Amino acid sequence: MKILVTGGAGYIGSHTCIELIENGHDVVIVDNLSNSKIESVKRVERIVQREIPFFEVDILDKAAMRKVFELHKIDAVIHFAGYKAVGESVAKPLMYYHNNIEGTVALCEVMQEFDVKKLVFSSSATVYGMGNISPLHETLPLSATNPYGRSKLMIEEILRDLGVSDSSWNIAILRYFNPIGAHSSGTIGEDPNGIPNNLMPFITQVAVGKRESLSVFGNDYDTHDGTGVRDYIHVVDLAKGHVKAVEYVDQNSGVEAINLGTGIGYSVLDVVKSFEKVNGVKVPYTLSPRRPGDVATCFANAEKARNVLKWSAQKSLDDMCGDSWRFQKNNPDGYQR
């Protein structure tokens, strides 16, 4: 298949492009580079040893998107493009609703014009809100506590409505848990702008000397060591899940929401200890008060992905820590040359 990957220069998108190509698919990337760098695409090209058609286009620009569809006969779309920082979404809700929701609507309108109705959407475990008890399964009631999560939840509803209105749409909604890790080559990985929002890039930046210490938010949760427990999944496993999902929507109609996680919860300190053990590097940390809105425990029930997509995560926490450090060590300043 020829697959359009929106946000394909980003962290998860770039790893997914590699897995798609290695599984025999052709890839076209659209990315406005607002939260990613063209260097990641160049590095993906080096890994797969081929050129990838790339368009610096915003999905809100329907005229520019139409040109992409005119130039390439697209069979399916994997849609990563969107803003993703929870704190920023609270400060700038209109920006998030405009970009994430209107961008997805514009994308679907262009897809409809070109009769491309196979879509894999990048959603999030944030749609489970704070009231559900882990392991989280797809039939639980949904809610969100911030504009980022609400934008994902609204898009899910829009896509379900689209599927009801036109049964020729085949849509997989993938709810991620906590992607970490990097390509085993150390060539591509997570390269956040500014202060990292996520745990692993903060750990690696402390380990490489860019930051003094890690702040651990909360050590009084009802968990085995008092720190928050999350479902960390290797980004390559996650990327392979997208390959399975796009092959699924090629053959199956309807709209399916599916968790992509390991089904295992690790605490913040579990991750720190694994990182130190695997890489032989100390990660100094300080204990800080809980952040508002954080839950004690959040991990997936991953049975549906096993049954429907024939996919399950294969890589261990040690793999995630080793690969994350390899990318950071090889690229102390990320993709900046």
| The two three-digit tokens of residue 51, written as one number | 């050129």
DSSP state of 261: S
Q: Which residue has the tokens 């200890």?
A: 273
Condensed to tens digits (0 to 9), the pLDDT of residues 172-199 reads 999 999 999 999 999 999 999 888 889 9
> Does residue 336 have a pLDDT over 90?
no
Instruction: Confirm whether 285 is a catalytic residue.
Output: no
Mean pLDDT calculated for residue range 147-155: 97
Among the listed residues 96, 148, 221, 232, the single catalytic one is 148
Q: What is the mean pLDDT of residues 18-46?
A: 97
Query: For residue 309, which of 271, 273, 256, 268 has the smallest C-alpha distance?
Result: 256
- The DSSP call for residue 242 is H
Q: Kindly report, residue by residue over 256-290, the tens digit of the pLDDT.
A: 999 999 999 999 999 999 999 999 999 999 999 99
Share above pLDDT 70 across residues of the chain, in percent, rounded to a whole number:
100
Question: How many CB atoms neighbour CB 48 within 10 A?
Answer: 16
Q: Please tell me the CATH code under which domain 2-180+233-261+300-313 is placed.
A: 3.40.50.720
Q: Specify whether the backbone of 81 is left (phi greater than 0), alpha (psi in -120 to 50) or beta.
A: beta
Does 337 score more than 80 pLDDT?
Answer: no
Say yes or no to pLDDT of 143 above 60.
yes
pTM comes to 0.97
Burial class (CB in 10 A: 0-12, 13-18, 19+), 101: middle
pLDDT of residue 270: 98
pLDDT at 197: 83
Kindly state the tokens that stand for 153.
Answer: 């939840």
- pLDDT, one tens digit per residue, over 64-75 is 999 999 999 999
Q: State which amino acid sits at residue 280.
A: G
Does residue 114 register a pLDDT over 90? yes
pLDDT in tens, 227-255: 999 999 999 999 999 999 999 999 999 99
User: Cis omega before residue 135 (within 30°)?
Assistant: yes
Residues 6 or more apart whose CB falls under 8 angstroms from that of 110 comprise 62, 65, 66, 69
Predicted confidence (pLDDT) at residue 113 exceeds the cutoff of 80:
yes
Task: Give dist(CA 43, CA 179) in Å, integer.
Answer: 20
